[in-house]
Each structure stands twice: as C-alpha cells, then as structure tokens.
C-alpha cells in the first residue's frame, strides 16, 4: 500500500504539471510518464481485506504444539491412526495437511485456536501406498488412513517399537524362570505365617521327591 500511495502522488503531480506545461516536447514527456504511472498503478496487486491479513498473521503466529497422544487400529487393508483435536472440524480443509511417504507420514494442523499442531511418524513398520493413503476430518478428531502395501497384520506402528519389544522379550527369555519362582517362594516363606511355611515346605518336599523318582530308571 505504501508503494501504491507513492505512485498515486507521482501521478497527481504529473497531471498538475501537464495543465501548466505549454511546450510540446515537455508535454510529450509528461504524457508518456503519465501513461507509464497509470499502467504501473493498474498492475499493482489489490490490497488484501483486513480479515484475510489477520488470519494470515494468526496462522503464522502463535506456537506449534507436538501431538503425542493417539490411538490406532487396523483392518486388512489399512492402518488407522486416530488423533483427538477439539474443534478441528471447524477449520478449512486445507489447514489439515498430511504428507505421506512409503515409510512415514507427517501431519500439520494450522491455526487451530491460535496454535499449530504437528505429528510425525518415521520408520513405519511396513511400507504403505502413498496414493492409497488419506486423511479424514471428523468431529474433534482426525483419522489418518495408511494404505498397507501388503495385506498383513502389523504388530506395532514403527520399527522402533518393534525393536523395543524384541529387546524386552530377549531380556525376559534369558532370565531363569525357576530363579524367579524361587525368589517368590522365598519371599512368601519369609512373610508368611506358620501355616504358609508348612504349605511351602510340604510342596517343596513333594517336588523334590518327584524329581528324585523321575531320575530312577524304570527297569531297575
């Protein structure tokens, strides 16, 4: 707008000079300048309405919140991620953007109650179809539909989750289960009353007897 104002003031001054100019050469120069200014003013972009300017400011301003809470489910063809966001259905559809790749997606929600929201999933467990994936806006919720490339069950969403589960399982498998049971029995014996101690002793004796009998060959 400032630049436009300057052009209009220049044009007014050229017109004023034209009314006073008497020499043809001077008048020709002023007429050419007048036409040039008029064309430049005509080509200026129209000023944006105030509410559009305010909306742009607020969509760029505010601060960005990282979404950590979500739920997920799956069918044969899709992995579905549910993200709760109050009032998201009131936003223009273009304010909810999801970018998919074969093994990731990221979500950007712009200007929801003065804040921007983002969520990124990298290293999805298995590849997805970018063309077949989409997002749906529901009441207070966004549903992200990741189209599976192969119709198979996913045990979790990301490779990181899978590795974490495998580490936990390995730690559990290497622990001696009989040692864990012994610790429980010792604790129960130490904290138990006489009846509990008698029960544990009896079970222990019977267990040892069974083991002993099992060690003796049958044909003796």
Who's near 189: CB < 8 A, 6+ residues apart? 196, 197, 200
Give ranges for CATH 2.60.40.790 in the chain.
64-148
Tell me the CATH number for domain 2-43: 4.10.860.10
pLDDT in tens, the chain (220 residues): 556 778 888 888 888 888 888 888 878 888 888 888 888 888 776 665 555 555 554 445 568 899 988 999 999 999 999 999 999 999 999 999 999 999 999 999 999 988 999 999 989 999 999 999 999 999 999 999 999 999 999 999 998 888 888 877 766 565 555 565 666 667 777 877 887 777 777 777 777 776 666 655 544 4
User: At 134, phi and psi to the nearest 5?
Assistant: -160, 180
> b/e for 17-38, b at 16 or more Cβ within 10 A?
eeeebeeeeeeeebeebbeebe
Residues β-bridged to residue 97: 108
Give ranges for CATH 4.10.860.10 in the chain.
2-43
How far is 133 from 105, CA to CA, in rounded Å?
Answer: 10
How far is 140 from 113, CA to CA, in rounded Å?
Answer: 13
Q: Selecting from 2.60.40.790, 2.30.30.100, 1.10.3720.10, 3.40.50.620, what CATH number does the domain 64-148 have?
A: 2.60.40.790
The pair of three-digit structure tokens given for residue 69, joined into one six-digit string: 């809470």
């Amino acid at each position: 707008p400032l630049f436009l104002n300057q052009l209009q003031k220049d044009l007014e001054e050229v017109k004023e000079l034209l009314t006073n100019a008497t020499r043809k050469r001077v008048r020709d120069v002023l007429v050419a300048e007048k036409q040039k200014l008029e064309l430049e003013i005509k080509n200026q972009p129209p000023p944006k309405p105030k509410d559009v300017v305010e909306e742009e400011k607020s969509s760029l301003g505010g601060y960005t919140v990282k979404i950590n809470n979500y739920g997920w489910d799956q069918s044969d063809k899709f992995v579905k991620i549910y993200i709760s966001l109050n009032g998201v259905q009131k936003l223009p559809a273009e304010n909810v953007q999801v970018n998919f790749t074969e093994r990731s997606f990221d979500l950007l929600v712009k200007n929801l109650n003065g804040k921007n929201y983002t969520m990124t999933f990298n290293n999805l467990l298995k590849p997805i179809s970018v063309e077949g994936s989409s997002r749906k806006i529901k009441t207070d919720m966004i549903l992200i539909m990741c189209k599976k490339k192969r119709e198979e069950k996913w045990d979790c969403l990301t490779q990181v989750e899978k590795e974490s589960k495998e580490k936990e399982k390995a730690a559990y498998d290497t622990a001696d289960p009989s040692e864990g049971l012994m610790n429980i029995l010792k604790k129960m014996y130490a904290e138990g009353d006489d009846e509990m101690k008698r029960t544990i002793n009896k079970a222990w004796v019977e267990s040892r007897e069974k083991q002993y009998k099992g060690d003796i060959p049958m044909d003796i």
